Amino acid sequence: MYEHSGVGLAAPQVGIPLRFFVANETGNPHEGTQRVFINPVISQAKGVEEEEEGCLSIPSIRGRVKRSKTLFIRAFDLQGNEIAEPVGGFMARIIQHETDHLDGILFLDRLTENSRLALEDRLSDFVADFEARQRTGSLPNDPQIAESIQEWESRYCG
């Protein structure tokens, strides 16, 4: 996360099929506070603001996304303590973005219409490059990814 100036990273982004993410608003390991949110549940979302977002899973693609301004988060930390607090500002956006990852949603799915249209060619190029890398073996193909997840689940969750 920090190596690529990220402010959040969800477990599924690194092949771990569990519901948790880490976040640090500063994107710097020596600043701010790194927090872990296990089994997060968002409620009481209020207000709407549109801002630009990016994602470590889709480098160099950014677009405008509407998110709630404030929310209430319930989760657990690494010590098993309950987190139950109102959140606003940038951290509210990070929590929504990372929780979306846990639900199989990418920020691309939430792009405004204008952002989606503006990024159409770049997204097509990204997908074509990804598929080409899968064909050449420099990235795992879909069955290999599924097998890896199944192996992980049977080893650690079974």
Range of the domain at 46: 2-112
Q: Is residue 27 in some structural domain?
A: yes
Provide the number of structural domains found in the chain: 1
List, for residues 56-106, the tens digit of each pLDDT value: 999 889 999 999 999 999 999 999 999 999 999 999 999 999 999 999 999
Q: Is residue 22 in some structural domain?
A: yes
CB 53 within 8 A of CB 105: no
Which residue among 98, 113, 120, 147 is the active-site one? Answer: 98
Q: What is the CATH number of the domain that holds 89?
A: 3.90.45.10
Q: Is residue 141 in some structural domain?
A: no
Q: Is residue 130 in some structural domain?
A: no
Q: What is the pTM for the complete model shown?
A: 0.89
List, for residues 10-52, the tens digit of each pLDDT value: 999 998 889 999 999 999 999 999 999 999 999 999 999 999 9
- Is 51 catalytic? The answer is no
